[in-house]
């Protein structure tokens, strides 16, 4: 069995709230890969994850074995879900409910009393209760299997079992833990730090059952609740994930192998550490269909692009877009919906700088209207924007994109996804996913963007050349190639 101990820290939040990036759960890609290769995989969760079942359902994956430290601490033995109705909670008689996507706001006497947050499937994630001054005074966190998992009041969080008995209390300010006297699931009744309790449970309930035939794949990260020393007496492979910062001393892994997900990170690894580079994302041969569309869409990923750079980019691309308004359009892509306001402001300034030169997103005319009317109209610039909220969303949008521009927005997932659909990329930084003048162009400044767009959009042979090279590049990121690397690594491990 290959057991993965990933860096899962965050909990699900209101989907309507801003997200910094598409949520990609650590280790899942490699777990799926090894499963396809015929190996059994296990998932070990050391952090509090009351919604892990929803997360696994979202990615349509469930490991062969699963151990959760908090499931043990809270005596949770159920894996199926049951629905909890928010009306079953205690509410004041004069409460009023206002419905919004993924959230219900409860008010009493025209004052906000509580927020009820739901997941994609309509299950309650948490309920926030507000005081007279609008501050959160209590929070109920629900396990998506259908019960109240913990209650936060001030600096104290109380954890419950599915029957409603409190199991232990954690002071988030002092980090002290108090165990309910009537239960005997821990060695002590009080702990100075939560990490002590978690480490104790992991060692006694999981690590003690690991055999010589098993491997552990442990992600190193600064938020880990268990010290890496706990894993060193086992056949452990440590891993670095670029989304989970780790500032510890890598030499402390001793003679264990280290898996790194990109070559840039590998440059900082001490010479004494043995490592292998296995990309975090697999490229799938799902070439896009942009060539079938009447208009060519220029995708621009702007998540980390400043307002000033965004404005400069639009103004530099404007002459090109104006000239090709009949056959090209722009689609801005981002995670944070605050970018929408920046786009609106830039387009407002563009219209003010070039009055009476173009129209923006003019609706299509009905075929019954005068067919000659369009000849008198100004060029119609189509500029849209899309907030990316999931992996499926990204792939669906990129499927129609003709080229992708990344400006100061380095995102390995987005760039690998662009390779998978076969489109060229223009960017102002170097990455492993782009080979200059092969499957894209590295632009020194904004003024080169329009020429780069013309290079691929005006000459089909250049675009096809990028497509062919992307297909070749996919082999390095293909599931087959990455599986071979994992198999070599796992078969070469020595019994420690």
Which segments of the chain have a pLDDT < 50? 18, 20, 370, 373, 493-496
- Final residue belonging to a domain, choices 277, 304, 326: 277
Residues 303 and 441 in one domain: yes
The reply to whether 227 and 300 lie within a common domain is: no
CA dihedral 70, 242, 496, 254 (to 10 degrees): -120
Residue 19 included in any domain: yes
Pairwise CA distance, residues 353 & 489, whole Å:
59
What pLDDT does residue 18 have? 46
Is the residue at 168 inside a domain? no
* Residue 314 φ/ψ, nearest 5 degrees: -65, -45
Q: Round to whole Å and give the CA distance between 259 and 276.
A: 5
Same domain? For 255 and 363 the reply is: no
- DSSP H/E element including 483: helix 479-491
Measured distance CA(29)–CA(55) in Å, rounded: 14
Domain shared by 296 and 273, yes or no: no
Total count of domains within the chain = 2
pLDDT of residue 218: 96
Do 266 and 315 have their domain in common? no
Q: What is the CATH number of the domain that holds 33?
A: 3.40.50
Range of the domain at 214: 2-80+198-277
Strands (E), 154-254: 156-160, 166-171, 177-179, 190-191, 215-220, 236-240
Q: How far apart, in whole angstroms, are the C-alpha atoms of residue 40 and residue 489?
A: 16
Distance CA 404, CA 331 (A): 9
Asked if 125 contacts 144 with a C-beta cutoff of 8 angstroms, the reply is: yes
Distance CA 204, CA 112 (A): 46
Which one of 277, 311, 341 terminates a domain? 277
- Can you tell me the distance from the alpha carbon of 140 to that of 151, in angstroms, rounded to the nearest whole number? 5
Same domain, 319 and 454: yes
* 10: in domain: yes
pTM, full prediction: 0.79
Per the domain annotation, does 258 fall within a domain?
A: yes
Q: What is the 3-state secondary structure (H, E, C) of 242-277?
A: CCECCCCCHHHHCCCCEEECCHHHHCCCCCCCCEEE
pLDDT by residue (tens digit) across 67-78?
A: 999 999 999 998
Sign of CA dihedral 409, 411, 414, 420: positive
Among 277, 300, 319, the domain-final residue is: 277
């Amino acid at each position: 069995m290959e057991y993965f101990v990933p860096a899962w820290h965050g909990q699900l939040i209101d989907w309507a709230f801003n997200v910094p990036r598409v949520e990609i759960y650590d280790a899942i890609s490699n777990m799926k890969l090894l499963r396809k290769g015929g190996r059994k995989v296990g998932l070990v969760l050391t952090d509090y994850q009351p919604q892990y079942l929803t997360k696994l359902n979202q990615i349509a994956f469930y490991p062969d074995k699963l151990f959760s430290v908090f499931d043990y601490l809270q005596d949770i033995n159920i894996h199926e879900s049951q629905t909890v109705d928010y009306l079953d909670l205690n509410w004041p008689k004069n409460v009023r409910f206002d419905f919004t996507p993924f959230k219900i706001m409860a008010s009493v006497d025209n004052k906000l009393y509580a927020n009820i947050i739901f997941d994609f499937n309509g299950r309650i994630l948490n309920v926030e209760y507000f005081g007279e001054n609008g501050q959160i005074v209590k929070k109920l966190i629900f396990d998506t299997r259908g019960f109240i998992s913990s209650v936060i009041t001030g600096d104290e969080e109380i954890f419950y079992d599915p029957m409603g008995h409190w199991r232990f209390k954690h002071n988030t300010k002092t980090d002290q833990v108090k165990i309910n006297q009537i239960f005997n699931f821990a060695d002590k009744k009080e702990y100075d730090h939560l990490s002590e309790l978690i480490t104790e449970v992991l060692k006694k309930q999981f690590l003690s059952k690991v055999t010589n035939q098993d491997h552990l794949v442990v992600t190193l990260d600064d938020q880990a609740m268990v010290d890496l020393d706990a894993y060193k007496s086992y056949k452990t492979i440590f891993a670095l994930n670029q989304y989970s910062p780790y500032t510890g001393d890598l030499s402390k892994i001793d003679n264990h192998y280290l898996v790194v997900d990109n070559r840039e990170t590998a440059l900082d690894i001490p010479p004494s550490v043995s490592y292998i580079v296995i990309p975090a994302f697999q490229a799938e041969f799902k070439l896009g269909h942009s060539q079938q569309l009447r208009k060519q869409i220029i995708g621009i990923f702007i998540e980390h692009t400043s307002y000033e750079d965004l404005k400069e980019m639009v103004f530099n691309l404007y002459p090109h877009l104006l000239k090709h308004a009949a056959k090209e359009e722009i689609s801005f892509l981002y995670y944070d919906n605050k970018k929408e306001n920046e786009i609106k402001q830039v387009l407002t300034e563009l219209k003010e700088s070039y009055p009476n030169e173009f129209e923006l997103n003019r609706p299509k005319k009905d075929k019954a209207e005068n067919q000659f009317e369009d000849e008198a109209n100004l060029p119609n610039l189509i500029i849209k924007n899309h907030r990316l909220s999931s992996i499926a969303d990204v792939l669906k949008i990129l499927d129609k994109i003709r080229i992708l521009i990344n400006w100061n927005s380095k995102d390995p997932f987005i760039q690998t996804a662009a390779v998978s659909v076969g489109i060229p990329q223009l960017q102002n930084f170097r990455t492993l996913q782009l080979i200059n003048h092969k499957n894209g162009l590295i632009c020194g400044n904004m003024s080169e963007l329009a020429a780069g767009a013309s290079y691929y959009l005006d000459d089909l042979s250049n675009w096809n050349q990028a497509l062919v090279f992307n297909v070749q590049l996919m082999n390095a990121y293909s599931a087959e190639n990455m599986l071979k690397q994992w198999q070599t690594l796992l078969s070469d491990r020595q019994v420690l």
